[in-house]
Amino acid sequence: MLAIVGTIPDLDVPVLDAPVTIRDGELSVNGRIISPDRGTPALLAAAVEASLYLNAPLPHAFLVGDQGRGDGSRELYAHLVDVLPNRDYSTIVFHYLQPDVDWHNKVLLAVQEMVQPPRLIADAGFMYAAKMSGQAPAYDLFTPDAGELAFLADETAPHPFYTRGFILHDENHTPDLVARAYAHENAATTLLVKGNIDYVADRGGIIHTVSKPVAESMEAMGGTGDTVTGMVSVLIESGLPVTEAALHSLRANRMAGVMANPTPATRVGKLVPFISEALSLVGVVEPRT
């Protein structure tokens, strides 16, 4: 089973640890409606749509309210440390959490205590903590954008805010940044890099590039990287090789953007209903019966 870990910008949300369900056409976790505007809820919605397309089980969610102060994230970190050793997930994706190296390391140890260690995907805050802790190679996939890739490539930066300028402004040289991230052991086994041109890479270099189709308004929308991460997590859970899952997800995300015909004001949730058709159009395996 796939598990998705992240935060919601609502301080009234306690730690939620429950399967995702669909109630009256809306996502629900432990009875709480989750609106897929952006962030982890957008990732969750994309994962649900991809799961429905594949006739696969819906993901399990670990969520908490946090508006950036980190209190909720620390509650969720502590909960994960307590429960993960006795859980059975084959894939876990960690998303928006306040970066905390100490808690990251405790969670990673809890994961390693599971009977069958899962495939690990990290994006956003948890990816930052993984790099800052020196544990990046423990992960199967990171999903950075160009700026986050620069942070991974900067061996001295303790936080994305401190990425050195000469690296940060080198986003037109993604292959060089990828090589630098791997040279300093700051990358997962596979990288999915989101940008004007998308890349799939590993220690050997660039494997795939994706630049079409183009929905220009998507560049101004928040959350489109979250939908990519949601899709790739489901495709990996379905058994696809990580690099193939990454390629399909990048293509499908662009296709869903074109079909949604967004404006710069469009919320990313408007892309979600097009994910199933987009996955079909880019050649993802037929739904299981």
State the pLDDT at residue 80: 98
DSSP bridge partners of 2: 91
C-alpha 174/C-alpha 283 separation (Å) is 26
One-letter identity of residue 153 = A
Q: Which are the contacts of 116, defined by CB distance < 8 A and separation ≥ 6?
A: 88, 90
Is the preceding peptide bond at 59 cis, omega within 30 degrees of 0? Answer: no
- Backbone dihedral region for residue 20 (phi beyond 0: left; psi -120 to 50: alpha; all else: beta): beta
Secondary element (H or E) of residue 6? strand 2-8
The least confident of 172-186, 232-246, 260-274 is 260-274
Asked whether the beta carbons of 190 and 243 are under 8 A apart, the reply is yes
206-249 confidence digits (pLDDT tens): 999 999 887 766 664 556 789 999 999 999 999 999 999 999 99
Token output for 183: 């040279």
Q: How confident is the model at residue 90 (pLDDT cuts 50, 70, 90)?
A: very high
95-107 confidence digits (pLDDT tens): 999 999 999 999 9
State the pLDDT at residue 215: 73
Mean pLDDT, rounded, for 11-37: 89
Q: How many CA atoms lie within 13 A of 112 on its CB side?
A: 9
- Backbone dihedral region for residue 271 (phi beyond 0: left; psi -120 to 50: alpha; all else: beta): alpha
Name the nearest CA neighbour of 148 among 136, 269, 138: 136
State the pLDDT at residue 160: 81
Q: How confident is the model at residue 289 (pLDDT cuts 50, 70, 90)?
A: very low
Cα torsion angle, 40, 130, 122, 204, sign: positive
Cα torsion angle, 281, 283, 288, 289, sign: positive
Beta-strand pair 190-193/198-202: antiparallel
First to last CA, the chain: 18
DSSP bridge partners of 200: 192, 208
DSSP bridge partners of 3: 60, 92
The least confident of 33-37, 92-96, 196-200, 225-229 is 33-37
CATH number for the domain formed by residue range(s) 2-281 = 3.40.1190.20
Asked whether the beta carbons of 187 and 164 are under 8 A apart, the reply is no
Q: Which residue blocks in the chain are alpha helix, DSSP H?
A: 39-53, 71-83, 101-112, 124-133, 146-153, 165-168, 174-183, 224-237, 242-260, 275-281
Q: Which residue has the tokens 């959350």?
A: 223
Q: CB 67: neighbour CB atoms within 10 A? A: 12
State the pLDDT at residue 170: 52
Q: How confident is the model at residue 158 (pLDDT cuts 50, 70, 90)?
A: confident
Mean pLDDT, rounded, for 34-50: 90
Predicted confidence (pLDDT) at residue 171 exceeds the cutoff of 60: no
